[in-house]
Amino acid sequence: MHMPYQFAHRMEAAPESFLDTLFAVSSDPSIISFAGGLPSAALIDVKGIAEAAAGVMAEDGKAALQYATCDGHLPLREWIADRYRRRLGLPARAEEIRIVNGSQQCLDLVAKIFCNPSDAVGMERPGYLGAVEAFSLYEPAIYGVPLAPEGGPEMEAFSRLLTEKSPVFFYGIPNFQNPSGTAYPEAVRKEAGTLCREAKVPFYEDDAFGELAFDGRARPPVKRWAGEFGIMSGSFSKTIAPGMRCGWLWAPEEIITTFDVAKQAADLHSNHLSQMILHRYLTTHDYDAHLTVVRSAYAKNCRLMSDLLDERLPACTHTRPGGGMFMTAALPEGVSSMDLFRAGLSQGVAVMPGRPFFADGGGDDCFRLNFSTAGEEEIKEGMARLARALASLVR
């Protein structure tokens, strides 16, 4: 029976979410999933986090379980700012950092404070589907800039977008981009940041994967050249534990002041208990040693998946990431990524079809693979199943 609910017009502009489908597929034990974006559960330091939680509850339990301020736990913000200074040589201050419920919340709140209906927003093409979904609720006109083969947006198209459309911001993932796994070359970072600063267009730099470079080397962020027109978000979800839902935004004071208004209205403050546990974990355990283990495991999985793609699916050219959790592969002519998704499920393997990563249409000729979740034997078996799925579609 049709019910007479009157939803906001913005809901009509929201694309159909594929994220629920991904999580459902990932929870089915009969399916080997390369479709989601989960970190390896085997690499979560449960013992270390439990020790940190016990310490917080024993020493600061009442404070950890009480309401807190909108800006976030000050010692955690100071730790993040110090890491920016030491690791990237950037003059970050705790006053410019806000703790959020996973960096996904940043996508919603940044769009909320910048976007009016029909405002232009720029992003990579293909781009992160969670960003497409978050931005779309505020009804902007999303303009995609194609990724260059060597990584990063094609700079001629990027410059043209800034000049002709004057976007309220450009959103990008310079380090091991989702979905492609590619990284911006330093020259592209410099040019993108410089162009945004000159055009007075904020570059919203999602750095969810910067700590997951296989070689451990820190790449200079676009913000180094964008200056006051650089916004950065980060997350502990990919490196420590996604269930703690803890990320952050680093932005200039004027943006932070407006951001606080939206954040306060949304949730009062992020999970204070998680913040205190995370800070204690980071200051009582060797975070860099943990990252070394994670990077090594993901690099091994990435190499294995790349080799098996070459061996078992030679018709599918693919990216070769130097970090992160994802790669993309192109399909043979005439094969649809949605058909591959369905055929894969029938074989007991899941990949992410390309279509949701293209805000302006397209993407049916490629698919995304996640290499962080499955183990070695699962990757081998999953790629064998994927090869059979593709073979069933090729005539």
Q: What pLDDT sits at residue 46? A: 98
Per-residue pLDDT of 119-147, as tens digits, reads 999 999 999 999 999 999 999 999 999 99
Question: Checking phi first, is residue 245 left (phi over 0); if not, alpha (psi -120 to 50) or beta?
Answer: left
* Cα–Cα distance measured from residue 140 to residue 131, given in angstroms and rounded to the nearest whole number: 12
Q: Is residue 128 classed as helix, strand or coil in its secondary structure? A: coil
* Cα–Cα distance measured from residue 257 to residue 385, given in angstroms and rounded to the nearest whole number: 51
Own/partner contacts of 283-286, CB < 8 Å, gap of 24 or more, are 283/79, 284/51, 284/52, 284/55, 285/45, 285/48, 285/51, 285/52
Report residue 58: phi and psi, to 5°.
-70, -40
Cβ 96 vs Cβ 248: under 8 Å: no
Bridge partners, residue 172, by sequence: 205
Report residue 172: phi and psi, to 5°.
-150, 160
| Closest by CA position to 128, among listed 188, 174, 175, 179 | 179
Q: Tell me the pLDDT of the chain averaged across its residues.
A: 95
Per-residue pLDDT of 348-381, as tens digits, reads 999 999 999 999 889 999 999 999 999 999 999 9
What number is the average pLDDT over the span 312-325?
A: 97
Comparing 359 with 22, the larger pLDDT belongs to 359
What number is the average pLDDT over the span 12-40?
A: 80
Query: Parallel, antiparallel, or unpaired for β 120-125 and 170-172?
Result: parallel
Stated pTM of the model: 0.95
Bridge partners, residue 153, by sequence: 147
Q: What pLDDT sits at residue 15? A: 76
The pLDDT > 90 percentage for the chain reads 91
| DSSP symbols for 149-195 | TTSSB-HHHHHHHHHHH--S-EEE--SS-TTT-----HHHHHHHHHH
* Cα–Cα distance measured from residue 360 to residue 370, given in angstroms and rounded to the nearest whole number: 23
Tokens representing residue 91 in the block: 């003059």
**Angle at CA 224, nearest 5°, toward 322 and 83?**
70
**Angle at CA 340, nearest 5°, toward 337 and 342?**
115
Q: What pLDDT sits at residue 317? A: 97
Tell me the domains of the chain and their CATH numbers: 17-45+288-391 (3.90.1150.10), 66-284 (3.40.640.10)
Comparing 197 with 8, the larger pLDDT belongs to 197
Q: What pLDDT sits at residue 19? A: 66
Across 22-36, 53-67, 95-109, least confident range = 22-36
13 band by pLDDT with thresholds 50, 70 and 90 = confident
Residue 63 has pLDDT above 80, yes or no: yes
